[in-house]
Amino acid sequence: MMHRIFVPVGQGAFYQEKFEIGDEKFNIVYDCGTSTETVDIESKIKSYFEEDEEIDYVFISHLHKDHISGLDFLLKHCNVKNVVFPFSEKEKYVYAIEYLCSSPNHQKSDFVYNMINDPFITINNIVENNNKHIKITGIEYYDKKDDEYTRNLIREEKYRDENNNEEHDIIRIVGDNGVIMKSGHRFHINITQDTIDKSALYNKSNYSPKINWEYVPYNFQNKKRKKKFYKLLTNIFRKKIDDNNISDIINNWEDKETKVGLMNAYKEMGKDLNLNSMVLFSGSYDNHITQNLCKHNNFCACNKSNGCLYLGDYKATGKNRWNDLDRCYMNYKEMIGCIQLPHHGSSKSYNNKLASFDAFFIASAGKNNKYEHPNESVIKNLLFNNKPLFLVSEEEFSEIDFNVF
């Protein structure tokens, strides 16, 4: 059995998948953070993971505080084997600007700032100081030119042995334990025959020798927002700002005139400089495996497909962005029975076509948050289409737990 848990962290994201089948256990985490001040993220982590408990994969959607503020402690408290994050080298200065502008208390020595500047070094420093070992994988931006690569990965008759064959997907190696891979690379958990209770899952006529569980990340880039931001900075500083000299601006942050200019540009962007988000699919092609809502030990007999689409802060609005999402996960559509609403249920990120999925919908947002997430229009669209919507806030009772078996 696997438990898919949406942890109540308020205005943030902390999602878990815990496999317990026979003697085999696997822990997966997607994002680990919050911006709700009343939430103690370290206490949350301790309540869900024992000290030095193994976590097989931590997937990060993007490097915003409300999605990674707990990652520092998670790496120290648990034995994390792999961290997978969206690689966005050229955008790190924009994220640094956003981080410094969003609060006067943010410092360049903070964990989040260091993650933005160099996630490989930051993660390595944490695990090495705690005598732990880890593999770090950066996921390249999705490029339509790679669609043939993606198609070759999907529905192969023989599953890839990641340990033996992943070198074919590596774009480059970073240090001793870091690699960059293409969007669409599949990460596997293989649950072997000996650990499965056949009587509980199958009869002899349809029994499968093992379960292959897939994690499929795509790092989507928002080029238009970066272009708009650079144009604003160009007008403010009266010189062309681009990838080649944006570092000069952020390095001059302590200058009063520079800080005022950056703050003005940040406000003009609606205090939103999100330039990318890594979407993650989790699921199995085995249609005997389904998921059911299990909330406060009250079982809800409502079977959905076993997969979940974690959308992070992806902007699904607009024809092109929707087409990118649809194209990348076209072979997984029938497997999606749960969807984490993008950007905490923001109307600026939601696409009405999401309501076409036969799925549970989850909105993670702080109670009475200033952004009014989830948006009223999003809630109305889902309820009008008779879709089950669940709100996860900082309140303990709002935790959502699915049984997947």
3-state secondary structure of 392: strand
pLDDT given at position 175: 80
Q: HEC profile for 92-135?
A: HHHHHHHHHHHCCCCCCCCHHHHHHHCHHHHHHHHHHHCCCCCE
Q: Do residues 169 and 181 lie in contact, with contact meaning Cβ atoms separated by under 8 Å? A: yes
pLDDT per residue rounded down to tens, the chain (405 residues): 899 999 999 999 999 999 988 778 999 999 999 999 999 999 999 999 999 999 999 999 999 999 999 999 999 999 999 999 999 988 999 999 999 998 777 777 899 999 999 999 999 999 999 888 999 999 999 988 766 655 555 444 344 444 445 666 788 888 889 999 999 999 988 776 454 454 444 444 454 556 789 999 999 999 999 999 999 999 999 999 999 999 999 999 999 999 999 999 999 999 889 899 999 999 999 988 999 988 655 555 578 999 999 999 999 999 999 999 999 999 999 999 999 999 999 999 999 999 999 999 999 999 999 999 999 999 999 999 999 999 999 999 999 999 998
- Give the separation between CA 6 and CA 397, rounded to whole angstroms: 11
| Structure-block tokens of residue 126 | 């944490």
Could you tell me which residues are beta bridge partners of residue 389?
361
DSSP 18-72: EEEETTEEEEEEEEEEE--TT--HHHHHHHHS-TT-EESEEE-S---HHHHTTHH
3-state secondary structure of 316: coil
pLDDT given at position 200: 45
Q: Do residues 244 and 233 lie in contact, with contact meaning Cβ atoms separated by under 8 Å? A: no
Which candidate, 218, 185, 214, places its Cα nearest to that of 26? 214
| Structure-block tokens of residue 267 | 């406000």
CA-based end-to-end distance of the chain = 5
Q: How many CA atoms lie within 13 A of 350 on its CB side?
A: 23
Which candidate, 230, 236, 223, 347, places its Cα nearest to that of 274? 223
- Give the separation between CA 299 and CA 56, rounded to whole angstroms: 28
Produce one character per residue of 130-157: b if its CB has 16 or more CB atoms within 10 Å, e if not: eeeebebbbbbbbeeebeeebeebeeee
